[in-house]
Amino acid sequence: MAKGISLNIGLNSVDPNHYGGWDGQLAGCENDANDMAKIARGSNFDVKKLLTKDGTVENVKASIHSAAQELKSGDYFFLSYSGHGGQLSDLNRDERDDHYDETWCLYDREFVDDELNVCLRDFQEGVRIFVLSDSCHSGTVVRGEALKKTMDIDTFKSNVDKNGTKFRFAPRDVLIRTYQQNKALYDGILKDVKNREMDPIASIILISGCQDQQLSADGLGNGYFTENLLNVWGDGAFKGSYEHFHKLILDSMMDSNPPQHPNYFKNGKPNTSFEKSTPYMI
């Protein structure tokens, strides 16, 4: 029988000691992780959660590596992240369009998309990987290469808009301050040629909360994307492919303002049977 492992990450804040005094308070990210873990348990995954202070780079990397060592061809890894997204200037020159690396703002530091790509390259061919990222700039976060930026994120001085909507991104001044105060650390990661984007040999499907150039909204119960995903999932009533799952979520969010349009992205070895199966099914 195939085996399934689920890693569900949700951060309602980050460590202000690393992020230049900014704690990045959010409301719905731990709820998102708990809800994804509930779905995974219902589908017989072995579940691990990393919430807020436990959501460190070391813990995330170790958990992914452990799953990669355990899972074999035909097995299933489900990875979900809810929290802030960020951007850092690309220094190993694998971002051909916008020249930014996208990041997950984990508790102790930013986790660069190139690093995530390296982690996912540990999985064997034939492993199925489903990634959900309810964070800003997340459209292709598993790949490490962003689409061209069309939204002027620099105009946002905080992660709350005029209507009081809070978004899951670190403001530009926070990102600059964080980088400047930890320049040697991030330069070492961003310049490391082993972190250059490459295609994994496992089969990966990513459904992200928004496009690379967009923002993901937080909420009181769940993130806006996760809320719509849960409505489409309907406690397991949904039956259909991953692409259809994404389409129904996207359709429910088409009128969002500012625009927040979930992305469907494939990476690694093509796996038609995986793509046509129902999400979360081991």
Of the pLDDT bands very low, low, confident and very high (cuts 50, 70, 90), residue 267 is very high
* Percent of the chain whose pLDDT exceeds 70: 87
- pTM, whole model, 2 decimals? 0.90
With a cut of 50, say whether residue 150 has pLDDT above it.
no
65: annotated active-site residue:
no
Q: Encode pLDDT of 47-56 as tens digits.
A: 999 999 999 9
Q: Per the structure block, which two tokens stand in for 220?
A: 């009181």
Q: Encode pLDDT of 10-30 as tens digits.
A: 999 999 999 999 999 999 999
| Inter-residue long-range contacts of 242-247, CB under 8 Å, 24+ positions, other chains counted | 242/130, 242/205, 242/207, 242/274, 242/275, 242/277, 242/279, 243/275, 245/207, 245/279, 246/207
Only one residue has tokens 């899951």, namely 168
Whether 119 and 129 have beta carbons less than 8 Å apart is answered as: no
User: For residue 170, how many C-alpha atoms fall within 13 Å in the half-sphere facing its CB?
Assistant: 34
Q: Which letter does DSSP use for residue 108 in this model? A: S
Q: Encode pLDDT of 211-230 as tens digits.
A: 877 889 998 899 999 999 99
- CATH class of this structure's domain 4-276: alpha beta
Calpha distance 6→92 (Å, rounded): 31
Catalytic choice (18, 84, 137, 246): 84
Calpha distance 179→176 (Å, rounded): 5
Q: Encode pLDDT of 78-113 as tens digits.
A: 999 999 998 887 665 554 454 578 899 999 999 999
Q: Encode pLDDT of 192-214 as tens digits.
A: 877 777 889 999 999 999 987 78
Phi-psi region of 137 (alpha: psi -120 to 50; beta: other; left: phi over 0): left
Q: Encode pLDDT of 247-258 as tens digits.
A: 999 999 999 888
pLDDT on residue 22: 96
119: annotated active-site residue:
no
Q: Which of 137, 138, 165 is nearest to 153 (CA)?
A: 137
Rg from Cα positions in the chain: 17
List residues bridging with 82 in a β-sheet: 10, 134
Calpha distance 263→269 (Å, rounded): 19
Catalytic choice (119, 136, 137, 246): 136
Average pLDDT score over the chain: 88
Helix (H/G/I), strand (E/B), else coil: 66: helix
Calpha distance 152→217 (Å, rounded): 16
